[in-house]
Amino acid sequence: MPIVRKRSALSALAVAALTLGLLHAAAAPAAASTVIAVEGESPSSSNMLPGPAAQTGASGGSSMRLYTGTAAPTGGYVASYTVTAPADGVYALEATTIPIGVDWASPFSYRINSGAWRSTSGAKQLAVVTSELRTYALGTVGLVAGTNTVSFKVDQRRAQPNTNYTLFLDRFTLTEVPLAVTSVQSPQRFGVFESGEAASLVITLNAEVPAGVSVPWTVTDYWGATTATGTATVAAGTTSATVSLGSSLATGAYHVQASAPGQTAPTAGAFAVLPDLASRPTVDDSPFAVDVYGSKLIATADATAFAHVLELTGVDWIRDRTRWNDTINPSLGTVSFASETQPQAWLEAADAVGLKTLSSYHSAPSWTTTSTRKLPQDLRAAYQYAVAAGTEYDGLVDAWQLWNEQNRGFALSAEGADRYASVTKAAALGFLDSGSDAELVGGGLAGVDPHYAQWQFRNGILDYLDAYAYHTHTTGNAAAATTAHPDFASQLDAARPYGGDAKERWVTESGIALNTLDATSMPIAAQETLQARYIVSSAAESLANGTDRQFFFIAAPYREGLSFWSSYRTPDEPMSALAAQSVMTKVLGRGDYLGRVSGMPSGASAYAFGTGSGQAAVLWAPTPTTVSVPVTGTSAIVTDVMGGTQTVSASASSVSVEIGPDPVYVSAAAIGDVVDAPVTVTPAPRVQSSDFSEAERVVLQQVYTEAASANAQTDGYGLSTTAGNPLTVEVYNFNDHAVTADVAASVGDGWQISGGTPSVTVAAGDRATVSFTVSATTTIAESPTDLSVVATVGGQPSSPSVAEIRPLIAAVTTTHVVDGSDDRVRARYTNTTGASRQITGSTWTIDGLTQTASHSITVAAGASVTLDSPAVAAGAGAVAYSVAIDFSGGGRQTAGGTVSALPRGDVPQLAERSITVDGALDDLTDVPSQQLSAPGADPADIAATAWFTWDEDNLYLSARVTDDLHAQPHTGNATWKADGLQFAVSPDWPGETAQRPEVQPRMEFGLALTPAGAQLYRFASPGVSGAPLTGTPFAVVRDEATHTTSYEVAIPWSALAPIGVTPTSAASLSVTANDADTDGIRGWVSWGEGITTSKDTALFRPVLMDVSP
């Protein structure tokens, strides 16, 4: 049944919009207006098939679903809903439905009672709920007092990937509204004008007016200055009026607002004026690029217009997606792209304006995947799809990206990097054999993941690629003025031993998540500004750190749940980042990175680029400051982030420039004092089909049992040490003739391999298998080791297949402990056998020096014992170590790693001090404090100080947060979204664990003053469940008079036992004070990182506690 309620407050969307000073939804409802809410799965009548059905992300978990190939009956497929209006009136109709205007959804219409059917083709998108559901303002309608019928009709088939009738209707609302402006925008052009072009806006009301109505409007620029104002007249009997803004608006981002008489809050829009094409430098191949996903997110009818927008942004490359599913590839050997009309239209539109396309794919047909495997299991499928796709899109796709985020959700935990490498080699050969001249790019790794990166490169994938890729997303901090681009140096280091420096390095996704109140809210003004700054600063920092091509994520309207990513608020409202990107590409031209400009004050950033016609520096700082930039010539051109320019005279070969959080450009014949120039490396030639020998066209794939593969993606394959482990090696032949291959396997210490056959003959395009057994030796290696398989064909080796293997159950673990002025490694042996064992000796190798000791230690079944290494002098830096434990009877178990022996002066020592946990903060005399910070954060808005102390029972955290407004509406595991503390503890010091960040041992807590009182929550982490902690002492006290909140908590060492942290541990800490205030958008200040934008203990701070010998 429909729900009718009175609403006296603005919607969440309106609240978020008003914090920007603008209202982006339909007009605000009058006080106590009527809202009628109807669930799509509850019609009064319907002939839609299959009808109501469950749907992820839908309101109530269900929606009305139409998905059938059966011809529509006379009058179409119709779902009707009965609603009761309390009075005659105008109502705003909003609906959450399938995306409108895309080829994979049917067009649909609606009507009220027996009125005319209205098309939804011009609906205004308000929010992206999921990839299958979006919320739209369909229009305003008239309802009569009493019973009304609202109907939705589908009478057209969708265009692709099949021709079913397709509609999802989640819910709709009818909100009583006064006469109001519903939109103020520049339709049919994505809100973009070219500099010098006549700009105009259309102001639309929510209903026809019986007499002329005057609507005042105002246009403001990026800086908030009013640039135009006036009054539009909506003629009698119409709903809209056009406002002409002339052709002299400066480049930049603009916001506009307009109000009808009596409207309580203005309706807002946005548009941009971008540099004209004629004034742009001619660039053949710049590093500036953007992800679009136009094949799905841009409707066919809009393809040409949006391609022109991208042309105006000055990017050279765009990123797209190509589908690989059962429709395109229903079985091995059958591939057809006939259904891909929307992708074809998009690629053709992009190509027509000279954009180069990188196309990625990240799924495979169901017949070549399983419930635990997302990568194609049959490499012949990967090869055949690549041949077909390369042929189909030759000339339209300029580079192929072979999968996406294979280390996260687009491959599963059972799929190691070796499996991805096998797929990559097969697909690369397929694209090369298609005759396409497109570049080949590896899948973009999600986040900084050196462990997975090293593993895939050991498999030799760079021999088959022109470039490798990584993704560098971050999260916008509303309390900060600037946002640093994530450090990806470890990705480059991982590739370097395998020829990575000679390959191109692409960041194929680099976005800043703007987290909103809910899935329908829009970013606030501070977030829009952060994004505009970040699209420039991230590109400069990324290129300075070694990237060859930087794709901003994402141009087309797009969000993932609470995270908003796009440089478009709605399809007709660009964010300020769009103008910032366009100005950047114009000023920096070729974007040839030259080096860093030296002599800048602390905190300021300055990078120099060759533009093709001179040089330019891009500069910014968290707070306003004046800098001197050396230049060649008597003057320089200074350009602001929106494209405003001024000529500045040079004095003593330098120009004085005011910089701040908004990037500024200085252009001259040359920029002086440039240091840290990139090292020149001869690039590797493009890979060609003819490069590969007969042997290199044989691709190997290792197959382990489900049990062994369970956590392969992060930990390698877990093998039994008490029984043989089966290994099947699949041998694929991508030659055009049969080959005979000799398959050999080798493995590191601690394991042995048996079985296999001397040789196997494989027909052209076919596969064969070879079986091995992997067993542990008496010397068991606890650390992961490589198992490599190589096929020899015609005397030449194939590319290797390299799997990481490890004992399924670890018996030896190591951790870093502090011993006075020295560091040591503590090895813990746990007897996992069913009988007692006798340790007879241990051998430690520290930084190449070996020391052996004799022991006589009996370890009962299930019991543990620890052995400490020789001392490692503090300040020795990163030191490699290994330990071997010998047992009576000849057995040996080994482990190894790296210990970071940092200088003692570089590591804060926590005071040994017991704290009375009462929130008084009166136990901290002479205790060193940690000041929490963020770039450019305003102390008047949030400031925080923390103290960590310890005693033999507890680790203590005390903190004082000064915040003008305490806002914490959440409880439990959601308190991180608003005011409160997050803090985390990890064993060892940063960088001592080589696993992926999200699987490193840590324990994270949230402490907040909630509506239910003070709460302490332990967040879920690897091996640790999430739960509120009620038996642990904690206190939170708010003093409104001083605007301070005091926090105290005592974490027992016993609570940290699951991650192995004790007072003698070398431990790492991080603490964040979150601040949400009334706008609900989270900002923060921190001591240490690795909590907010990513879960990464490598970004924590190292600390010392008990240093007694």
Q: What is the pLDDT of residues 158-209, one digit of tens each?
A: 999 999 999 999 999 999 888 889 899 998 899 999 999 999 999 998 876 6
Q: Confirm whether 593-675 and 812-904 share one CATH topology.
A: yes
pLDDT of residue 7: 30
What number is the average pLDDT over the span 1021-1028?
Answer: 84
Query: Taking Cα atoms as reference points, which of 317, 312, 280, 311 lies closest to residue 586?
Result: 280
pLDDT class of 991 with cuts at 50, 70, 90? confident
pLDDT of 85 over the 60 cut: yes
pLDDT of 8 over the 60 cut: no
Would you list the domain boundaries of the chain?
31-176, 182-274, 286-588, 593-675, 693-807, 812-904, 907-1103
- pLDDT tens-place string over residues 117-167: 999 998 999 999 999 999 999 988 878 889 999 999 999 999 999 999 999
- pLDDT tens-place string over residues 926-964: 999 999 999 999 998 899 999 999 999 999 999 999 999
pLDDT of 88 over the 80 cut: no
What number is the average pLDDT over the span 329-340?
Answer: 96
Q: Which two tokens stand for residue 1033?
A: 């002492």
Residues 934-964 as b/e (b if ≥16 CB within 10 A, e otherwise) read bbbbeeebbbbbbbbbbbeebbbbbbbbbbe
pLDDT class of 18 with cuts at 50, 70, 90? very low
pLDDT of residue 890: 87
Query: Taking Cα atoms as reference points, which of 1018, 1016, 998, 994 lies closest to residue 1007?
Result: 1016
Q: How many CA atoms lie within 13 A of 451 on its CB side?
A: 23
Give the lowest-confidence range in 81-90, 549-558, 587-596, 760-769. Answer: 81-90
Give the lowest-confidence range in 387-396, 646-655, 769-778, 898-907. Answer: 898-907
pLDDT of 519 over the 90 cut: no
Report the CATH number of the 907-1103 domain. Answer: 2.60.40.1190
Give the lowest-confidence range in 23-32, 87-96, 320-329, 377-386. Answer: 23-32
pLDDT of 30 over the 50 cut: no
pLDDT class of 338 with cuts at 50, 70, 90? very high
Rounded CA-CA distance 632/672 in Å is: 7
pLDDT of residue 119: 96
User: How are the residues of the chain apportioned to helix, strand and coil, as percentages rounded to the nearest 5?
Assistant: 15, 45, 40
pLDDT of residue 24: 37
pLDDT of residue 994: 60
Give me the residue label for tokens 């400490």. 868
In CATH terms, the superfamily for domain 812-904 is Immunoglobulins (2.60.40.10)
pLDDT of residue 284: 85
pLDDT of residue 795: 96
pLDDT of residue 90: 76
The share of the chain scoring above pLDDT 70, in percent, equals 96
pLDDT of residue 1094: 86
pLDDT of 1099 over the 70 cut: yes
pLDDT of residue 1014: 96
The CATH number of domain 31-176 is 1.10.150.120: no
CA distances for 60 relative to 7, 54, 517, angstroms: 21, 9, 19
At position 381, the amino acid (one-letter code) is A
pLDDT of 883 over the 50 cut: yes
Mean pLDDT of the chain: 93
At position 523, the amino acid (one-letter code) is P
pLDDT of 6 over the 70 cut: no
Report the CATH number of the 182-274 domain. Answer: 2.60.40.1930
What number is the average pLDDT over the span 352-365?
Answer: 97
The share of the chain scoring above pLDDT 90, in percent, equals 83
The residues, any chain, with a CB within 8 Å of residue 691's CB and separated by 6 or more, are none
CB 698 within 8 A of CB 793: yes
Specify the CATH class of 593-675 in words.
mainly beta
Q: How far is C-alpha 760 from the geometric centre of its chain's CA atoms?
A: 44
CB 821 within 8 A of CB 1107: yes
- pLDDT tens-place string over residues 769-792: 999 999 999 998 888 899 999 999
pLDDT class of 1031 with cuts at 50, 70, 90? confident
pLDDT class of 210 with cuts at 50, 70, 90? low
pLDDT class of 757 with cuts at 50, 70, 90? confident
pLDDT of residue 998: 65
pLDDT of residue 28: 41
The CATH number of domain 286-588 is 3.20.20.80: yes
β-pairing, 109-112 vs 118-119, is antiparallel
CB 538 within 8 A of CB 552: yes
Please state the pTM of the whole predicted model: 0.85
Using only C-alpha atoms, what is the Rg of the chain? 31
Which architecture, in CATH terms, is 693-807?
Answer: Sandwich (2.60)
pLDDT of residue 34: 84
pLDDT of 617 over the 70 cut: yes
Q: How many CA atoms lie within 13 A of 299 on its CB side?
A: 15
Helix axes 417-433, 450-458, angle to 10 degrees: 50
pLDDT of residue 25: 37
pLDDT of residue 996: 66
Residues 248-281 as b/e (b if ≥16 CB within 10 A, e otherwise) read ebebbbbbbbbbbeebebbbbbbbbbbbeeeebb
- pLDDT tens-place string over residues 1039-1090: 999 999 999 999 999 999 989 899 998 999 999 999 998 677 899 999 999 9
pLDDT of residue 219: 98
The residues, any chain, with a CB within 8 Å of residue 209's CB and separated by 6 or more, are 179, 234, 236, 237, 238, 239
CB 391 within 8 A of CB 434: yes
At position 767, the amino acid (one-letter code) is R
pLDDT of 977 over the 50 cut: yes
CB 35 within 8 A of CB 5: yes
